[in-house]
Every structure is written in C-alpha cells, then in structure tokens.
Structure 1
Amino acid sequence: MHFEDLDLDAAILEGIKALGYQKPTTIQQQAIPVALDGRDLLASAPTGTGKTAAYLLPALQHLIDFPRKKPGFARVLIMTPTRELAYQTYEQAKSLAQFTELSLGVITGGINYGSHHEVLNKNNDLLIATPGRLMEYLENETFNPLDVELLILDEADRMLDMGFLKEMDRIAAETKRRKHTWLYSATLEGASLIKFARQIMPDPAEVYASPPRREKQKIQQWIHLADDYDHKFKLLVHWLKQEETQKSIVFVKTRERLQTLIGQLQSEGLKTCWLQGEMPQHKRNQAIDAFHQNKVSILVATDVAARGIDVDDVTHVINFDMPRKADVYLHRIGRTGRAGKKGNALSLVEAHDMEILSKVERYTDQKLARRVIESLKPKHKAAKVPVKKKKKKVNTATPAKKPKKPKKPKKK
C-alpha cells in the first residue's frame, strides 16, 4: 500500500512527501481508512510505528473535507499527557499541513498565559493541548469546546496513570457536540482505561496493530548483570564510549539519581543533557533541542520522557535503572528503532531487579539475552527470583492427648 491509496488530499500528500515518508506503516494502513469512514476509533500500536501520523493524517483530511463555515475555536482537539509530546505532535502536524491553509495551535503548561492569546483569539482548526492548562481555560471560559468536531486522546493510558481522569471526563463532557472520538495508545490495557473508553465511545472500531516480524526485530534487546551501583556505572560508561553508541537515552528512576549520574558522567568527559519532572518548560525545550540537533549525544531522563521524546536517530536506550512496571519498559525502549531504523536497548540489572526483569520478559513474551563484557564480568551469579512458598496451615487448637496404652499384666 502507498499513501496515494488512502484517499488523502493532494496537499497532504505533498506534506508526506516533504517529510520523506515512503509507505504507510501497519497502524497507518489499518487505522486511516477506518477513521476516514467516520467511525469512532480505539487504536493501539507499539511506540515508534507511526501512531501520531495515523491520527494526524485523517484529522487533517477531515478539516479539508468539511471546511469551516464560520469563525471559531478548534474543530479538532488533540490531548496529550506531556508537554514534550504536545510540542512534537504540533511540529509533525505543521509539517504535514504545510501545503494547506489550515491553522494549527498548541497549548501547554509551563508557558506564560499571554503566549496562548493568539491561539485562543483567532480561527483555529486543530489544537494540541495538555489536560491541566486546557482545564484552566475551560474554567475561565477562555476556550469554547462546543466547536470541537473531533476529539483525539493520545496516550490515554498515560493520562490516566498521571491522575487526569477528572480532566479527561470533563473534556469529553464539554465537547458534547463532537462527531467522532479517537483514542490512541501504545497499549490498551487496564480496567480504568477500558471503562473510560466505553463511556465516551459506545461502539468504536477497534484496531490492534501488531507490527510485522521485521518491525519487531528492529530493536535488539539484552541485559548486563551488575553487582552494585559502581559496577553498573562502569558498564554504562563502557557503552557510552563505544563508537556504535552515537546517540543514547539513559533512563533512571528518580531525580536524585539523575543529578548524581549527570555529575559522574561529566567527570568522565561525557557531555549530557537531561529531562526530569518539575523542570521549567524553556529548559525542557533547550534540552530536547540540543539532543535533537546533535549538540549533545547523551540524554539522561526520568520516565517523564518515556512517552514524550520523538527523535528518529536514537541508536541506544539504556536502562540504568529498571522501570517499576513492565509496560513502562516498552515505552522506554520505543525511543529507539524509530522511522524504520534499527535500535538497541540494554538494561543494567542488579539482584534486586530480577523480579521486575521476570515481569518484563513475561510481558514482552521473550527472554532477554544475557551479555558479558570480559573486563567487567559480574562477581556474583544471577540472583533467582524468590519463590514464595505456601505456608503450611498450623492448627492452633490444643491437640487432644493420646490415650495411654493399657499396661500388659505381669506374668505370674
């Protein structure tokens, strides 16, 4: 299949060509025709397989097919969980729509309110927003949601994980005149997500796009066993100094760990940038721009970046700390092997990580290869995941006394 086969407008096809897209990916082939048919859509696809374009392309086509009749607010509203994802979606939307007359905007927290004045006070066709800031504009009636014809929720499970259920419910209720709803995510799991989807979409078409075998094999995954933090750091430095590690994201579990690691890497002569929670927006943008433009080749991040970074040429994802949940592992490694390129994902595993490693392997349905660097061999063998033994039931009742055996009569 080619993009020309998807009944897209010539102006959109020009934008696709300018971005260098060759053929639609699996999720794009399956979701775009359904979306163009005017169905509500519940769609899932692994990170890095073209999910964003899978909803942007039919959204742009909807705006062209049904032109604006009167001035007003956004007709397509796209909600994303993080600022990074919002801005990257906005940049991709601008590129795809560059040969059209459509007006696009983005609204997120961490930005001066005056910066959004133009977006909220001119004709706007497509708006990308994060839940928190949009709710503020809904509350003070700066944004009118009644013009929204199409509501798109990207990474809906992530928004629920971040505690945005009330905001999502409110936005769904406020956009009550909408014609269609599309819910996209890398995974569609969990009772709360399924319940929410059923509430806002009574009869959606469902698309679960498993990538073909060749796409699955684009990310090579393995682990290194580590004795302790110092051993883990030496393994990390080894890989960051390899010629093949051209651009890498290193994931850690806490902000404190991030700050410690940055200082240690810089003392090794490794220049880094970083992303963490509660970071001013301009600093986030600076870090992403430096990484995107290859001014810095190492990005250290907490999981705030797991779903927000969209850089096509990341060669390695390194889990310095294992994630707390198996699905987060998938979102992390999805930062590499994008746009048809191959990628590498390696995890540094201590003894206390063996339980989550076991969960990751069950979740991904594969056993991760164990590798050893000759000069950095672990001193200890791999720890086994402790098996909880069932406790034997103890009868607390006072045991009955055994009757005494009668004495044998003495022989006379």
Structure 2
Amino acid sequence: MTVTNFSELDLDESLLDALRDMGYERPTVIQAEAIPPAMEGRDVLGSAPTGTGKTAAYLLPVLQHLIDFPRKKSGPPRILILTPTRELAMQVADQARAFAAHTHLDIATITGGVAYMNHAEVFSENQDIVVATTGRLLQYIKEENFDCRAVETLILDEADRMLDMGFAQDIEHIAGETRWRKQTLLFSATLEGDAIKDFAERLLNDPVEIESDPSRRERKKILQWYYRADDLKHKTALLCHQLKQPDVTRSIVFVRKRERVHELVAWLREAGINSCYLEGEMVQAKRNEAIKRLSDGRVNVLVATDIAARGIDINDVSHVFNFDLPRTSDTYLHRIGRTGRAGRKGCAISFVEAHDHLLLGKISRYLNEPLKPRVIEELRPETKAPSAKTTGKPSKKVLAKRQEKKEKEKEKVKVKVRHRDAKNIGKRRQPTQKTDEPSAK
C-alpha cells in the first residue's frame, strides 16, 4: 500500500499537529517505507541521500512508541541516537523537540566541545531521548555517569560516515552497553560496500532493508544544470555573476579542498560578496558562528568542503553551487540535497572545466538523467566542449570489442592449477631417496 498522507501511518494526534505546524504535508519515500516497520518494532537498515527526510523516518516511530508506552516513573533515557558530528546531533535534537512540541517528552544532547557541567542535567534529570556523539558518550559510560540499561531503541544516523571516521569500535562498545534494547535502527547515505553491511549484520537482528532513492517527483523539485568554464578565473566570474542574482537568497558553495575555501572567500570579497565558510579544522565556536551568520541572514553565501558541511541542516537554502565537481555521484547527491527540502524548490548549479567532463558523465548516468548546459551570454566560454568520445561513455565499437573478448575468454579451456604444482615452479627437482629393504632371513 502506498502511503500518501501522514494520517495513514497511525501516528498520535499530537505528532500530526506538530507535522502540520512544521509544514509537512506528505511523507517522502524513505518515511513511507521505513516508518511502518519501525513502528511494528522491527530493526531497520535504511539508506537514503541527504535531504530526503530520513531524520523524521526514525524520529516519528520512536516518539510514537514513547507516547504509546509512557514510563510510570522517571529514569534514564529510553531512546539513544548516535551521530557522527556535534552539528548533526544538535539538529536531530532540535527536530525531535519540534516533533514532540505537543507532548511532555524530554530530549537532551551529549556532545564534545561542551563542558561537563552542562551535561549534568542529563545525568540527574529524567530524559526520554538522548542524542549523542560517540566519543563523549563513551567517556561518560566508562566513568559510569551514563546509564544505558533502560535504552529500548538504539539509532545510528549517518552510519557510513561514522565508519569512515573510525568509530566502529566505539559504536560496538556502546551497542554492547545497550544489550537489553529491543530495537536497532541504522540509517546511512548508502549501503554500498561490505563494511557497512558487515557492520549492520553484527548489530541488527533480521532487519527490514530499505534502499530508498528519492522519487523522480521529489528530485524534480531541484533544478539542475551546469556552465562550462574555460579556467579557474572564468569559473570564479561565473560564480560571482550567479551569486549576485536576486533569486539567490541563501546558498552553499562546495569546493573539494580546504585551501580552495580560503582562496574563494577572498575572491568573493574582492567581488563585493560577503560570505562565511566551513572547513575541517575549525573550532566548534567558529563553526557555530558561521552557520548562525548564514541562518540569520547576515550573509547569504557559505563556502564549504564536503567533510565540513556533511551533517549540517540549514533551512531555506535556495541554491547549491558545485564550484568543484565532486569525485563521486553519492557526494553530488549529498550536496544538492541541501536545497529543495520540505517540499520547496531549489537549484543546483555546477561549473565544469574541460577536465571535469568525465565526472559529469558519471553523475548523469548515476542520476539516469542528463545534466543540461546553459550559457551566460556575456560570459560565454571561448573553448569548445569536449567531444562525446572524451566524456567517459564507451562507443558502440568499443563495447562490441569488449563483448567479443569476453566470448573468446569463455571458449578457452581452463587448466586447473593445483597448489602442489604451482608451489614448486622454478625449484630444482630433488632426487627421491631409496631405502634399502631389509633382507629376508
């Protein structure tokens, strides 16, 4: 059955009121597929790109559980949510509070970069949901300041990123401390690769697996196109022209390297465009200030690397600019997922130099839809676009030759190579020792 409305999901009226307050009209693909099995108590292994509503996909079921089965007396947290970064933890907690606005549920966070005394209330007062980063939570568990015995549901958000950051052992330690839990929900941007599947197999019990690519209807809310650029200078001029357009009200500009972040911020300043930035080595206070400056409208441009920006959630982003094309299609989806959220429309614009056309072809094939070029008349490129033969897609002739080679390989008689034959290659043959037979008496 296709779910077209949140009221079809058997959610409490208090949650439906909160959804209406927040402007949520209909569930996204991941929400429609993940919420029903999660509400039935099943473990869920879910995959969906950034911006498709996966946070609500795991928050709504656990909030419903807490409403259906209220505790009789105060106690330690019943729901534990692990995230890879402080920013994501804060955003998840804020969203949980918004969903729980018409209830009496308590939500708290435990993250690094915060003094111990600020977490004292989490240990001393009643908390229903705790959102935490692994490092600080594990420290409190080892110090016996955090009680995991009441945790009923463990949720891992952006599990693929936590593995990339080397948190696998910490998460398994925390999972061991919550061994009495009844449910585990694991959400990831992608389920590709053995690492995430092996990890899920160790933590989840007979999970419902959901790989939810956003529907074409959802993706159409984001207009996507690209401009060809002759060189770095031309690319910067194209970006500055776009940022000065009146419809660009709040934007994120993505680059690949930290060094480019500082260069681009300086170039934009020279063009009269104020911006803020995020890069990997920033202290937490500066990161928070940069996000706040964009959110409250003091600047309308944020320049960021992928690592620094992953996990942040900024409302009403009108445009995403790929100043440098990402190296993977998954990263492209992460980037453009910053705009077109909550039913709104957005734009994703890429700037493509000649050496980027291979990447452009891969992204188009991944999306299963072509990215179309546009031209700004006064900034028309002087160089020609690469021919189709250099865009990474093999010609029919090349494909036919590859197929012919495969067929010939199949026809060859395979010789079985035994280990005992292979291990003695190149060695001098040893004469066999003859033993004298005992003479018959």
TM-score (norm 1): 0.89
CA distance in 1, matches of 2:110, 2:385: 48
Any conservation in 1 of the 2:23–2:342 contact (CA below 8 Å)? no
Is the 1:306–1:335 contact (alpha carbons within 8 Å) kept by the matching residues of 2? no
Partner of 2:59: 56
Amino acid paired to 1:215: E
Residue 354 (1) aligns with residue 354 (2):
no
Q: Structure 2 CA distance, aligned partners of 1:374 and 1:54?
A: 44
Q: Which residue is equivalent to 1:115?
A: 118
Counterpart residue number, 1:280: 283
Q: 2:328 aligns with which of 325, 329, 333?
A: 325
> CA separation of 1:359/1:166 partners in 2, compared to 1, >3 Å: closer, same or farther?
farther
2:292 alignment counterpart: 289
The verdict on how the C-alpha distance between 1:361 and 1:213 changes in structure 2, with shifts beyond 3 A counting, is: closer
Could you tell me which runs of 5 or more consecutive residues in structure 1 were left unpaired when the two chains were aligned: 391-412
SS of equivalent to 2:149: helix
> 1:354 Cα shift?
2.9
Same amino acid, percent of matched pairs: 55
Distance apart, 1:249 and its partner CA? 0.3
Q: Is the 8 A contact 2:154 2:183 kept in 1?
A: yes
Question: Take 2:298 and 2:62, find their aligned partners in 1: how far apart are those partners?
Answer: 34
Tell me what 2:257 maps to: 254
1:148–1:178 CA contact under 8 A, matched in 2? yes
Tell me the amino acid that sits aligned with residue 253 of structure 1.
R
| Paired position in structure 1 for 2:235 | 232
Runs of 4+ in 1 over 6 A off after TM superposition: 386-390
Q: Are 1:180 and 2:215 matched, yes or no?
A: no
Letter in 2 for 1:76: I
Shift of 1:70: 4.6
Equivalence for 2:170: 167
What CA distance in whole angstroms lies between the structure 2 residues aligned with 1:216 and 1:40?
28
Question: Which stretch shows the higher mean deviation, 35-44 or 363-372?
Answer: 363-372
Q: Deviations over 1:86-125 (max 9, x none)?
A: 1111111111112211111012222223221212322211
Other structure's SS at 1:146 match: coil
Q: Describe the shift of the 1:186–1:387 C-alpha distance in structure 2 as closer, same or farther (beyond 3 A).
A: closer
Return the match for 2:142 from 111, 115, 139: 139
Per-residue deviation at 1:165? Answer: 1.6
CA distance in 1 between counterparts of 2:134 and 2:327 reads 25
Pairing 1:382–2:385 present = yes
Instruction: Deviation per CA, 1:303-322: give whole Å up to 9, x if none.
Output: 13443232331111001112
Alignment of 1:26 with 2:37, yes or no, is: no
2:224 corresponds to: 221
1:408 is matched with none
| Alignment match, 1:209 | 212
SS at match of 2:88: helix
Q: What TM-score do the two structures reach when normalised by structure 2?
A: 0.83
Query: In structure 2, what is the Cα distance between the partners aligned to 1:347 and 1:48?
Result: 18
Structure 1 residue 146, shift from structure 2 partner: 2.1
CA distance in 2 between counterparts of 1:94 and 1:305 reads: 25
Contact kept, 8 Å, 2:361 with 2:393, in 1: the verdict is: no
SS of corresponding position for 1:100: coil
Kept in 1: contact 2:49–2:213 (CA 8 A): yes
| 1:298 partner letter | V
- C-alpha distance in structure 1 between counterparts of 2:65 and 2:349, whole Å: 41
1:255-302: CA deviations, max 9, x gaps? Answer: 221111112112211111221212222222222222122222111111
CA distance in 1: counterparts of 2:197 and 2:225, whole angstroms: 32
Q: Which runs of 5+ in 2 are unaligned?
A: 402-441
- Summarize deviations over 1:147-169 as a string: whole Å, max 9, x none: 21101111111211222222222
State the alpha-carbon separation in 2 of the partners of residues 309 and 266 from structure 1: 24
Residue 69 of structure 1: how far off its partner (Å): 4.2
Residues 1:138 and 1:381: Cα distance change in structure 2 (over 3 Å): farther
Shift of 1:359: 2.6
Which letter maps to 1:333?
Answer: I
Q: Which amino acid aligns with 2:180?
A: R
Secondary structure (helix, strand or coil) at the match of 1:251 reads strand
CA contact (8 A) 1:275 1:304 kept: no
1:77 to 80, 95, 100: 80
**CA displacement 1:349-385 (0-9 Å, x = unmatched):** 2233233323322322232112222222222223435
